[in-house]
Structure 1
Amino acid sequence: MDIITEQFKVGGRLFYVGAGTSGRLGIVDASECPPTFGTEPGMVQGIIAGGEKAIFKAQEGAEDSPEHGAQALIENNVNHKDVICGIAASGRTPFVRGALDKAISMGCHTILVTTNSREQLHELGVNAETVIAPHVGPEVIAGSTRMKSGTAQKMILNMLTTASMIRLGKSYGNIMVDLQLTNAKLRERAKRIIMEIADVEYEKASAVLEAANGHVKTALVMLLADVDAQTATEKLLDADGFIKNALQG
């Protein structure tokens, strides 16, 4: 998380790279970051072997080319500020290994999420700066890594982005406060968040959220510091987006 957070701060991005289930899990986690944490769509991205069509239909041969993994980074304009997180249950998927090797040559930080043992990874000669390798035990159906391995991978990816976003000030306590109000559900959730944190009624939360132009953090600083929207915005800018620091400033 330290690596990811620090690279975010200097304009870097997080790329998940995987094939099959692993690739789809990366795309799922990446796609959930903008509505949950208010991030730009390009901040966390998922790359899957076989491209977009592989999201919906298995492209079994797409994972066999390390060159395609390396090329995918070039096509996404990856640079040394970015973090490349390979996802592969076995740790030996050629597409993922090709991407990791290319990332290392470009000076990127690299992570591998796998459920293979570190000893076997060493024997395979897998290269990654950081290896996350939980022991999940045998699959219910032998050979199907979309089950226990896939579940473990999903939880780890959630941990990586959630912890990094917390360190960027996108939560207040354990409550999400940088959500994008892209639908009715999220607009209502934003009001409930304001009601809970600022201890105000629904009507007050709605009015202040509107005055804050739909920005939850601004609305909270307005209420908790008793300031107008412009002052709240300035306080948040001075505090790098951290509500706690904005209230102390």
Structure 2
Amino acid sequence: MKLSALTTEQRNENSMTLDQMSTIDILKTINLEDKKVANAVEAVLPKVETSIEHIHKALAKGGRLFYVGAGTSGRLGVIDASECPPTFMTPPDMVQTVMAGGTKAFVNAAEGSEDNEHQGAADLKERNLTKDDVVIGITASGRTPYPIGALKFAREIGAYTVGLSCNENSLISQFADCEIEVVVGPEVLTGSTRMKAATAHKMILNMISTTTMVKLGKVHENLMVDVHASNYKLLERAKHTLIEITDASYEESEKVLKLTNNEVKPAIVMLEGGVTFDAAKVAIQKSNGYVRKAIDYVKKHHS
């Protein structure tokens, strides 16, 4: 399919006079188009669900999740992957991004690198990909050679593959076990897929990482209980999380967090179950990281 035939490359009838509009009219036009993004994402939720079920199984067994993309798509992967360790205390290698042009391309555009299909495979190969991993190729057009090369290699290895694009019948979908084609329509600025297409992909990546981490037991109620309290803001959040869940006082939460090296999960179990740090750690381990199950465990075995 020619580039000009792609939905993401079509001209938007609502913005044909963009250069003649007032500031507020430009803003209203962009805003009206942005409102369409959530509906487009809603239409592909079953596909997103399918991908998450596979990602959850893979990560639970020690596999890894790789985002692969060029330009804006790669940058979106970097943003989502880099937030996982501080938010969910994941190992740095659990969710990774492989970006065309390397990490330096995050700041300085290396757009030519996206055309190299072989490089996409080679860069992924360098990460020692195995069949236990999952690879998500991100490309608004659905035809970018770099993530396509990565997905082709991933399939050869036997890893589960996901294609995330913004056009129907995308080329990358042919190499994906699960294709997520979120069709947001033509951009306000023709072909500028950093706009609606990127917003849709950011929303979906948020869903994928957050839902997977919930399923891995890194959330209790709707609170971050595997947060790495590495600065003042996060430490304060950790204290207030304890207060919310256990009704402990500020002083009690501060005291117990010192005993747990600022880890929230064992602090919750200690306060709720009236046990030591070591007993809390054992309970969490026996419960595969799920706080609710760990609390039930200590109440059953230490009452």
In structure 2, the residue corresponding to 1:16 is in which secondary structure?
A: strand
Matches within 5 A, 1:140-179: 140-179=188-227
- Unmatched 5+ stretches in structure 1: none
Whether 1:237 and 2:272 are equivalent positions in the alignment is no
Distance in 2, matches of 1:232 and 1:174, equals 21
Q: CA deviation at 1:135?
A: 2.2
Identity %: 48
- Larger relative contact order (Cα-Cα within 8 Å, sequence gap ≥ 6): 2
Counterpart of 1:32?
83
Counterpart of 1:72?
123
Equivalences, count: 246
Counterpart of 1:137?
185
The alignment's C-alpha RMSD in Å is: 1.1
- Flag the 1:190–1:125 CA change in 2: closer, same or farther, 3 A: closer
Q: Contact (CA 8 Å) 1:50, 1:62: kept in 2 or not? A: yes
**What are the superposed Cα offsets for residues 84-111 of structure 1, whole Å, 9 maximum, x if unpaired?**
0000001110001000001000100000
- Unmatched 5+ stretches in structure 2: 1-51, 298-303
* More helix per residue: 2
In structure 2, the residue corresponding to 1:73 is in which secondary structure?
A: helix
Q: 1:121 aligns with which of 170, 184, 192?
A: 170
Distance in 2, matches of 1:7 and 1:185, equals 32
Distance in 2, matches of 1:203 and 1:140, equals 53
In structure 2, the residue corresponding to 1:193 is in which secondary structure?
A: helix
Q: Contact (CA 8 Å) 1:91, 1:126: kept in 2 or not? A: no
Q: CA deviation at 1:125?
A: 6.9
In structure 2, the residue corresponding to 1:85 is in which secondary structure?
A: strand
Counterpart of 1:209?
257
Q: Contact (CA 8 Å) 1:97, 1:126: kept in 2 or not? A: no
- Flag the 1:125–1:25 CA change in 2: closer, same or farther, 3 A: closer
Q: CA deviation at 1:31?
A: 0.3
**What are the superposed Cα offsets for residues 168-221 of structure 1, whole Å, 9 maximum, x if unpaired?**
100001111001111111111101111111112111110011112211000000
Distance in 1, matches of 2:183 and 2:148, equals 21
Find the structure with the greater CA-based Rg: 2
**What are the superposed Cα offsets for residues 35-85 of structure 1, whole Å, 9 maximum, x if unpaired?**
000000000001110112211111111000100000011111111111000
Matches within 5 A, 1:35-54: 35-54=86-105
Whether 1:87 and 2:135 are equivalent positions in the alignment is no
Counterpart of 2:274?
226
Distance in 2, matches of 1:177 and 1:125, equals 36
Distance in 2, matches of 1:127 and 1:229, equals 48
Distance in 2, matches of 1:160 and 1:125, equals 18
Question: Residue type of the partner of 2:153?
Answer: K
Distance in 2, matches of 1:43 and 1:218, equals 22
TM-score for both structures, normalised by structure 2:
0.79
Distance in 1, matches of 2:288 and 2:64, equals 18
